[in-house]
Amino acid sequence: MALQVDNIIETKGALILGAGVAGLFTALKLAPFPAVVLADTRPGVSGSSARAQGGIAASVGQGDSWQSHAADTVAAGAGLCDPAIAALVAREAPARIEDLVRYGASFDRRADGSLAVGREAAHSAARIVHVSGDRAGAEVTRALADRTQETPSVTLMEGFHAIELALRDGRVVGLFARVCDGPVRRLVLLRASCVILATGGLGALYAVSTNPPETRGEGLGMAARAGAVIADPEFVQFHPTAIAVDRDPAPLATEALRGEGSILVDEVGRRFMPAIHPLAELAPRDVVARAIHREIVAGHRVFLDCRQAVGAAFARAFPTVHAACREAGIDPAVQPIPVAPAAHYHMGGIAADTRGRSSLEGLWAVGECAATGLHGANRLASNSLLEALVFGARAAEDVRANVATRTVGGTVPAPTRYAAPPVPRALREAMTRHVGLERDALGLAEALRSIDRIERAGGHEPSLLNMTVAAKMVVAGALARRESRGGHYRSDYPRTDSVPVRTFMTLADADRIAAAPTADPKIRAAH
Ligand SMILES: Cc1cc2nc3c(=O)[nH]c(=O)nc-3n(C[C@H](O)[C@H](O)[C@H](O)COP(=O)(O)OP(=O)(O)OC[C@H]3O[C@@H](n4cnc5c(N)ncnc54)[C@H](O)[C@@H]3O)c2cc1C
């Protein structure tokens, strides 16, 4: 169905969709090459970036090395990381932290002025740079937004909700977005030399998630609908310790609390992690998340007990977590914090190469919406902001070298914010119930039926289609992977295959899997 366009905006250089760390950093690295950063939310407080707590991994501490960082990344990825990408990212990490310092991010420092580094789960060294304890995301996003505002080559356009990529002869030449002009809803076509998607993850497609509502997989959905290859969509990471106080998004008890020595206990104070993994509470995220999930399914309540490890220092060391606990009437210095796993991070995404290029001409993808091969089946803590920085810089370099700017005229309207329709509740419930921490063929087939029903009921509303397509890619990837690995656990295929194989699929492939879920022998056996 052709879209009725009310307005055409010509942009001069790159059009970046998303104003989290990936989008803003890429725009700054592009300068003086012109860039428009378009987002439905306000730059500086946008996306998951502004909520990140732990910090950014980089081997800047004494005695640490990029080789050790790369090795930890590969070990966490359960056989699916691309070791060359892990090496590239770990090697470039310290330089990207220096960039952030230059852009005005004020990381915590030691008395001698060197960067203070913390330790997080599955890292073999202290290598997480942080800000005011747990405010890394808020501070870095603010610094980048301030800097982009002062950068003449960057234009920030807030309040636009993108719904579809614009294609000409198979090449991406811009995108369609909705915006409100006073009370009037308009559809605009933004034309650009190239489009860089920086739309974040898809956690908000799940009912229990740490992600804000704008991270609902729309960038991935748009790219898939345009024919782009999607990589590893089945791998969703669940944060083990969201604070279980019935809030959406669920506030987070950062991993760093376990790094400090906090322990997981049940309602009678029984510690259960040492019996499950030699690293106990510092085991990889998927192991900890599934252990908590199973305790809860078995009827227990689970708590993060920080009384011994952090105690009276809590408010100063972890102000964000402290505030979330206090709002819920919990004093974490003297009371254990109730926790549960929540959808947190998408390892999969738009397949992107070392320059951030997708499989479609004219389209780049950076940050959480991209899959570069860094995270494999399970992301190492604090590697995601880093991936956004490393590939943001690389995509910028590639665009500057290879994309021409255009001469443009016309004016940009000053919009009022367009409020996109929320994620359908039925979709969030289906994803949490059937595509969560433990999956099986029957549940995944049921998720596909729910997605189909939601799509039909919603007509061909593009924003809804972006979400259902993103969800369908996750389900199809999960159905096709008949093994358990990293963040993907199939209770009907609990073993891990001896040969690790990454998933690369288009929407056409996912549709074929969705059309014949009974191809799975476990479903055939159940009928
Ligand atoms: C609570 C929490 C804590 C975390 N802690 C850490 C941490 O300590 N370290 C770490 O490395 N990672 C952490 N992560 C993960 C990390 O924050 C994210 O992976 C990262 O911020 C993603 O950045 P991004 O720029 O790719 O996307 P985001 O920051 O999510 O930004 C996405 C942007 O795209 C825009 N957008 C999306 N769709 C549309 C559309 N259709 N139209 C217009 N605009 C659109 C959004 O408005 C937003 O501006 C955490 C995540 C969460 C939720």
- Would you place residue 235 in the very low, low, confident or very high pLDDT band (cuts 50, 70, 90)? very high
**How far apart, in whole angstroms, are the C-alpha atoms of residue 461 and residue 161?**
13
Tell me the CA–centroid distance for residue 226 and ligand 1, in Å: 22
- pLDDT per residue as tens digits for the range 64-84: 999 999 999 999 999 999 999
Provide the pLDDT confidence category of residue 16 given band limits of 50, 70 and 90.
very high
pLDDT > 50? residue 471: yes
Ligand 1 close to Cβ of residue 157 (< 6 A): no
Hey, what are 124's tokens? Answer: 């073999």
Least confident of 254-258, 282-286, 389-393, 497-501: 282-286
Chain-centre distance of CA 478, in angstroms?
18
- Nearest CA owner, ligand 1 atom 13: 52
> Over the stretch 155-175, which tens digit does the pLDDT of each residue have?
999 999 999 999 998 999 999
Is the CB of 462 within 6 Å of ligand 1?
Answer: no
**Rounded Cα distance, 168 and 155, in Å:** 25
127, 186, 285, 394: the catalytic one is 285
The verdict on pTM exceeding 0.75 is: yes
- Check residue 414 and give its pLDDT: 43
Q: Is 210 in the pocket of ligand 1 (CB under 6 A)?
A: yes
414 burial level (CB within 10 Å; 0-12, 13-18, 19+): exposed
Residue with tokens 């320059």: 355
Going from the Cα of 408 to the center of ligand 1, the distance in angstroms, rounded, reads 31
Out of 2-16, 404-418, 481-495, pick the least confident: 404-418
Mapping DSSP onto H, E and C, the string for 324-390 reads HHHHCCCCCCCCCEEEEEEEEEECCEEECCCCCECCCECEEECHHHEECCCCCCCCCCCCHHHHHHH
Higher pLDDT, 9 or 232: 232
Contacting residues for 425 by C-beta, under 8 A, at least 6 apart: 207
Is 285 assigned a catalytic role? Answer: yes
Residue of 53, 214, 252, 374 to test ligand 1 pocket, by largest number of atoms within 8 Å of CB: 214
CB burial of 497-511 (b: ≥16 within 10 Å; e: otherwise) equals eeebebbebbbebbe
Q: What is the mean pLDDT of residues 338-357?
A: 97
Distance between Cα 512 and ligand 1 center (Å): 30
Q: State the DSSP string of 228-265.
A: --EE-TT-EEEEEEEE-SS-SSPPB--THHHHTT-EEE
